Structure 1
Amino acid sequence: MKAAAAHNARDLKVLFRTEWKLFNRVKANYIYAVFVPLMLMLALKFSQDQMKLADDNLKAGPVMVSTSVGILLVFSLYSFITGLYVLRREELVLKRLRTGEVSDPVILAGGASMYIVVCIVQILAVTTGVSLIFSTAPHQPLTALLGILTGLALMTVMAAATAALCKTAESVTIATLPAIFLLPMISGVYIPREILPNALADVLLFAPLSPTVDLVRSGWTQNLDTAGILARLLLAAAWTALFAWIAARKFRWEPRT
């Protein structure tokens, strides 16, 4: 067991270094990594001025923190990893890796590792910036961390499941559109569920990204008790397991002919 874990860790390290080198070759990637958080903070400040959150007993800081995390998970992680998986498949990289001793989960995790790290750095930068802008601080940092981890896991396996639908790299844009536009809308990223009708809000509580949004916000507001936190974690685990199952059954490791 320990030998297998050490072997997997070594493979992940090698795959991360490879993706790091490829990422480093395109200097525009760094501009994107810095530009997105800065523009996101400016956009959040502007949107907060337009939304009368106080009318619904919502504090702007925690809402904007959870919104920023949701946006980064969808746009900086999910969309990029989906395209990455399809591109590496077309380049036959995945097929070559699979002929070796690297396991399928390690191949997918290693390929996504660079963008996961970038997304984590962006999340840390934006949540810190938003907290300073709105003069707020996390009261349950562990809850917020759990929320971020659930989002990272969900978006990674969801990207693998979406990549299974893509025949070519050109089809990635179309395949990811439903999640990019619909997922933040129904999960409380763009519109807090508290301002929606109660019946609709209760239904949207079960949306895939809702547990992440709720946990991250609770990190600042402490509005979830232990039972609420566990319920969100179980729901997040269920969605992650579902998309992981789809990816395991449908993911293609070489181009379609």
Structure 2
Amino acid sequence: MLSIALGELIQIFRNRLVLVTSILMPAAVSAYFIYQHEAFATLGSLGYIAAVVTFTVGAFGLYTTTVTTLASRRQNLFLKRLRSTPASDAGILSGLMLPVTVLAVVQVIAILTALAVVAGGPANVLLLAAAVLATVIMMLGLGLATAGLTNSPEHAQVTTLPVSLGAIAVATWVGISGTEELTLLKRLLPGGAATELVLNAWNGGVPVADSLLLLLPTLGWVAMAVVLASRLFRWEPRR
């Protein structure tokens, strides 16, 4: 698995498209939010900025790159060749996804740390870590599911748009308006409960036990994504 991960990490830094979508674009958007944190805080709170930053990295840095990577490796038959090695299917996928996942987590940590230095830290760091981890797992699962419907890296630019833009839109909606109204709908949408969890972790004022219950809808989306991935994912190009 580690040898696959190392090779994939090298490919990421060689591929300009993946490098831009996975690192440069999320970092640029996040830097803008931090630079204008006072203006954006008037729309919601610092927790809102933290949530949007987390989902920007998750949507573009992790989700889109996951789909693009798997589609590319399937198209050039690299996935098929890997299956002829002693590595298990789980080991192959873990090796391919490990670099982009680590990069996304490091980005989120670095950007949220910068936000904390500039504007003040979160009320509960451990709860924030749980929210970020749940978001990463959800976006990774949705990426595996979407990869099953994606024929090529070029096709990924189309298939990833609904989820990536939708997740950021939900995070923005919940972050600005809160969950006092349409509570159930907002929590059941992909990313809604995770956004509320980030808000609670950063802003404080909500009991930890109540906040941890918000992990359930997010884990529900993870379970759904895993089921879809197991049914839709293909190791060879579609004919």
Instruction: Give yes or no for TM over 0.5.
Output: yes
2:39 is matched with 49
- 2:174 equivalent to 1:153: no
CA drift of 1:224 comes to 3.7
Counterpart code for 1:138: P
CA drift of 1:107 comes to 1.9
Alpha-carbon RMSD across the aligned residues, in angstroms, is: 2.5
- 2:201 equivalent to 1:211: no
What TM-score, normalized by structure 2, do the two folds share? 0.88
User: For residues 144-171 of structure 1, what are the alpha-carbon distances to aligned partners after superposition, in whole Å with 9 as ceiling and x for unaligned?
Assistant: 1111111111111101100111123222
User: For residues 175-221 of structure 1, what are the alpha-carbon distances to aligned partners after superposition, in whole Å with 9 as ceiling and x for unaligned?
Assistant: 111112222212xx223356268443431111121232222232222
CA drift of 1:45 comes to 4.0
Counterpart code for 1:245: V
What TM-score, normalized by structure 1, do the two folds share? 0.82
- 2:5 equivalent to 1:16: yes
Cα pair 1:218 1:224 within 8 Å, conserved: yes
| Count of residue pairs brought into register by the alignment | 238
- 2:158 equivalent to 1:174: yes
Equivalence map 1:1-257=2 (5 Å)? 11=1, 13-26=2-15, 29=19, 33=23, 36-46=26-36, 48-49=38-39, 52-53=42-43, 58=44, 60-134=45-119, 136-186=120-170, 189-193=171-175, 195=177, 198-257=180-239
> How far apart are the structure 1 equivalents of 2:202 and 2:167?
23
Q: Which runs of 5+ in 1 are unaligned?
A: 1-10
Q: Which runs of 5+ in 2 are unaligned?
A: none
> How far apart are the structure 2 equivalents of 1:234 and 1:168?
33
Cα pair 1:193 1:201 within 8 Å, conserved: no
Cα pair 2:68 2:152 within 8 Å, conserved: no
Larger Rg: 1
Give aligned-pair identity as a percent: 23
> How far apart are the structure 2 equivalents of 1:52 and 1:211?
22
> How far apart are the structure 1 equivalents of 2:156 and 2:213?
33
Cα pair 2:58 2:139 within 8 Å, conserved: yes
CA drift of 1:51 comes to 6.4
SS for the counterpart of 1:191 is: helix
CA drift of 1:105 comes to 2.6
CA spacing shift, 1:173–1:25, aligned 2, 3 Å: closer
> How far apart are the structure 2 equivalents of 1:138 and 1:79?
28
